[in-house]
Chains A and B, each alone.
Chain A
Amino acid sequence: MSVYALNKLCHRTLGDLAFRAAMQRDPAAAIAEYRLTPEERQALLAGDVARLYEMGVHPFILSFLTRYEICGLTAEVYSERIRKAHDPGEAAWT
């Protein structure tokens, strides 16, 4: 599990403009330096925000991806997907 790394890279899109642009252009290359599990990498690149939420990525931080429409995540797409997510419970958060 590398939920911290997922949180970190989603958060980085807010303040690091070069990283944000790289995530918009070629997310697979941009996240290459992060030590993610194959499942985490796949969920991120697919814009599967429900799965990322259920893994424990913080929703406030996760939603940065839709601010910048990274991995195809317009507000409409993000909303439709996240509304189907299940609450992972407190254990997933920390």
Chain B
Amino acid sequence: MADVVAGFGVSHSPHAPEAVRKAGAGHPLVPLYARVSEAVEAAKPDVLIVFDCDHFSTFFLDNWPIFAIGVADRIAGPNDGTVMPRYELQGHAALATHIHRHCVRCGFDPALLQDFEIDHSILVPVHFIPPTQAIPIVPIFINGFVPPLPSSQRCRALGQAVRAAVESFPEPLRVGVMASGQFSLEIGGPKVAPGRRQGVPDPDWGVHVTELLRAGEYDALVAEATFARLRKAGNIGGELLNWIALLGAIGERKPSWIESQRAEGDGFAVWA
């Protein structure tokens, strides 16, 4: 039987690899990713499940799933032109298949994805968290961008179903779970900053989310994270659903470390 041994929450700006390359170790993202990296090293996961929102890179509007599970032995990218190194990761097709089947049996209907590449939203964290580069991944995609979004309750239940699937997997795997996403961000919509194509319209929401997570107030977070509230935090605010799915998978435990960047609308956390 496999176990969920740890959780990791991160953001994934596509500009980060170049910004950090130019700025060096003094860039504020460096210590944040380093902290997560140490936690991944310590948790020694055999496989990493990543809750992620695709940015119209793996999917397009011709076929846009609410939930999808990536089942493959090799998963490469980025496929969205992000300026960063290319990575060819291992997938964990056996666990991914098991999760897909389990989810369908228990009332979820995720799309099955078998021939695909992934974008910056998984590979920027992988870039900055070196131990993840050698761990097979299972990407689970949640629609956080194209209304109607799945509800926060549904996403938490998805995480719970994924946990149950992991616990019924016959091999004794140590499974890590990662959520990749912002708390507040607007790209290309009316809430962008003056003169820019993006902005953080609701930094206080990011801080509030961080406080609820720190306190383990997961029921309150799920109740507050309505579609209207996520939209107020920006048209990328739906990425919080990845974190909420992680909460479903991680159970009741509180994060062992969490820190937010108010002005960036994001946060980093570890459940060890």
Mark A residues whose CB is within 8 Å of B: 4, 7-8, 11, 14-15, 49-50, 53, 58-63, 66-67, 75-76, 78-80, 82-87, 90, 93-94
* Interfacial chain A residues near B187, Cβ < 8 Å: 59-60, 63
Interface segment, one of B42-50, B168-176, B191-199, B252-260:
B191-199
Q: Which of A11, A67, A79 has most B Cβ within 10 Å?
A: A79
The reply on B25 being an interface residue by CB < 8 A is: no
Mark B residues whose CB is within 8 Å of A: 55-56, 60-62, 80-81, 145-148, 186-198, 231, 235-236
Q: In whole angstroms, how far apart are the Cα atoms of A80 and B194 in the complex?
A: 7
Given A7-B61, A59-B187, A61-B56: A82 and B192 interface contact (C-beta under 8 Å): yes
Are the C-beta atoms of A58 and B145 separated by less than 8 Å? yes
* Interfacial chain A residues near B193, Cβ < 8 Å: 79
Are the C-beta atoms of B81 and A15 separated by less than 8 Å? yes
CB-defined A-B contacts under 8 Å, sample of 17 = A14-B81, A49-B188, A50-B190, A59-B186, A60-B55, A60-B56, A60-B236, A78-B197, A79-B192, A79-B195, A79-B196, A82-B189, A83-B192, A84-B190, A85-B189, A90-B147, A94-B146
Are the C-beta atoms of B148 and A94 separated by less than 8 Å? yes
Are the C-beta atoms of B190 and A85 separated by less than 8 Å? yes
Task: Kindly identify which residue among A7, A11, A66, A86 contacts B197, using a CB–CB cutoff of 8 Å.
Answer: A66
Q: In whole angstroms, how far apart are the Cα atoms of A63 and B80 in the complex?
A: 14
Task: Kindly identify which residue among A11, A49, A84, A87 contacts B60, using a CB–CB cutoff of 8 Å.
Answer: A11
